[in-house]
Amino acid sequence: MELAIHNIEGKETGKKAKLDKDVFGIEPNDHAIYLDVKQFLAHQRQGTAKAKERGEIAGSTRKIKRQKGTGGARAGSLKSPVFVGGGRVFGPRPQVHGFKLNKKVKRLARRSALSTLAQNKTIKVLEDFSFEAPKTKQYVDILRKLDVASTKTLLVMPEGSTNVVLSARNFPKGKVVTAESINTYDIMNAGVMLVTESSLNIIQENLKK
């Protein structure tokens, strides 16, 4: 598959970018995508929630009333979960939500996600560019000229594109990542993926290994 290469003015340059069929042309594996996205979201969870159970509450352990003859249920401690200020029953404890996923599965998931975008024709290739200084207006102007400003976009840049990353930070519908750090969640979460020529080469080299 070949795609036309656009410049930052939104016009075709006349050049073509070839998409490797082993990366952008496979049969998408939905389960691999599911596992990789699930792992990514699991690793975003802090897992620091904690509530005190009855054994951790500070307070007296005296019996608050006699066992029988009160007409009510027996009660042995103010720390009981049935009283206000008592411990919580089976409260949350700190835990790690992440899980292991094999590298081959993660690679398959990224290739499947990229192939899905290629099938949906939601990938645009751009000429390499850079910003001299962070400027959100300049970044949004590029999206507007490419006619993608109203949809979620993922712009894939090579390493060292700090000014472009900073320019997109205040734009809610745009995200910029490097070709080395691209992941399945970001790919699937984007309505359109914009990738520069050099980034495309890096992605294809990494995922063909």
Tell me the domains of the chain and their CATH numbers: 2-46+99-207 (3.40.1370.10), 51-91 (no CATH)
Contact status, residue 167 vs residue 136, Cβ threshold 8 Å: yes
Q: In what order do the strands lie in the sheet with 12-18?
A: 12-18, 2-6, 123-126, 192-196, 153-157, 174-178
Tokens of 13: 């340059």
For each of the chain's 209 residues, which pLDDT tens digit applies? 889 999 999 898 889 999 999 999 999 999 999 999 999 999 999 999 999 999 999 988 889 999 999 999 999 899 999 999 999 999 999 999 999 999 999 999 999 999 999 999 999 999 999 999 999 999 999 999 999 989 999 999 998 889 999 999 989 999 999 999 999 999 999 999 999 999 999 999 999 86
> Whose structure tokens read 């809610």?
172
Alpha carbon distance, N-terminus to C-terminus of the chain: 20
Partners of 5 in the beta sheet?
Answer: 125
118: left (phi over 0), alpha (psi -120 to 50) or beta: alpha
3-state DSSP: the chain helix, strand, coil percent, rounded to 5? Answer: 35, 15, 50
* pTM to 2 decimal places: 0.83
